[in-house]
């Protein structure tokens, strides 16, 4: 494990945070094809989420910074965009509250694990699937195509399911971390 900060993976994670600004601009301001531009930028952000982990493993550049930056970038990007979509009345408030509560609990749990075990836990696969489904839900809502409503609803509920599964996996890590330090 490396302690470098500026790796390809970390730059991609940081780019995901930066992309929030033009995405929010594209959905908030009416101009020709604004939603198409927003979707393209969301797809670029999604690509950075997949590529950061790929490059970290490919080049053996898994870093402590990256373990924090990757999920933090997800949480910032999703949290900000979710709030914007609620303000625009495009997604339900209960959904955003669920996303934000899950993210806060994961961050708190990661902090506790770091304090107890001295390590930063990596993202889990159900969490990555949940983030992807959340992003797909946002993407579908951004398009605003009525013909996609049934698919949008399925993606909404699948994202809720995977958010819960990932939260359970993180809770298990926290519990295992507690039993290791106590046992």
CATH code, domain carrying 13: 1.20.120.1760
* Owning domain of residue 35: 8-182
Taking alpha carbons only, the member of 77, 7, 79 closest to residue 46 is 77
Which of the four pLDDT bands, split at 50, 70 and 90, describes residue 183? very low
pLDDT at 89 over 90: yes
Q: What is the pLDDT of residue 92?
A: 95
What Rg do the C-alpha atoms of the chain give, in angstroms?
17
Residue 105 lies in a domain: yes
89 phi-psi bin (left φ>0, alpha ψ -120 to 50, beta other): left
Which of the four pLDDT bands, split at 50, 70 and 90, describes residue 78? confident
Of the ranges 1-5, 75-79, 122-126, 137-141, which is most confident? 137-141
pLDDT at 3 over 80: no
Residue 78 lies in a domain: yes
Classify burial at 117, counting beta carbons within 10 Å of its beta carbon; exposed 0-12, middle 13-18, buried 19 or more. middle
**What mean pLDDT is predicted for residues 67-79?**
85
Residue 2 lies in a domain: no
Residue 142 lies in a domain: yes
Residue 154 lies in a domain: yes
Residue 3 lies in a domain: no
pLDDT tens digits for range 120-145: 666 778 888 998 899 889 999 999 88
**What share of the chain in percent tops pLDDT 70?**
92
Residue 170 lies in a domain: yes
Structural domains counted in the chain: 1
Half-sphere exposure of 1 (CA within 13 A, CB side): 8
CA angle, residues 78, 38, 24, in degrees to nearest 5: 55
Find tokens 């709030």 and name the residue.
83
Residue 73 lies in a domain: yes
Cα gap 48→177, rounded to integer Å: 30
């Amino acid at each position: 494990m490396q302690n470098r900060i500026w790796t390809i993976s970390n730059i991609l994670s940081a780019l995901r945070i930066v992309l929030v600004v033009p995405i929010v601009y594209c959905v908030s301001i009416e101009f020709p094809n604004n939603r198409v531009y927003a979707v393209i930028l969301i797809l670029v952000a999604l690509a950075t989420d997949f590529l950061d982990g790929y490059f970290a493993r490919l080049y053996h550049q898994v870093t402590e910074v990256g373990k924090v930056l990757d999920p933090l970038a997800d949480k910032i990007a999703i949290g900000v965009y979710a709030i914007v979509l609620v303000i625009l009345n495009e997604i339900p408030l209960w959904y955003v509250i669920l996303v934000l509560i899950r993210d806060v609990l994961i961050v708190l749990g990661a902090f506790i694990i770091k304090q107890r075990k001295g390590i930063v836990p990596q993202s889990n696969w159900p969490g990555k699937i949940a983030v992807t489904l959340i992003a797909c839900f946002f993407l579908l809502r951004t398009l605003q195509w009525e013909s996609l409503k049934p698919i949008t609803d399925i993606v909404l509920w699948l994202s809720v399911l995977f958010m819960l599964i990932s939260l359970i996996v993180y809770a298990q890590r926290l519990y295992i971390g507690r039993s290791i330090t106590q046992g």
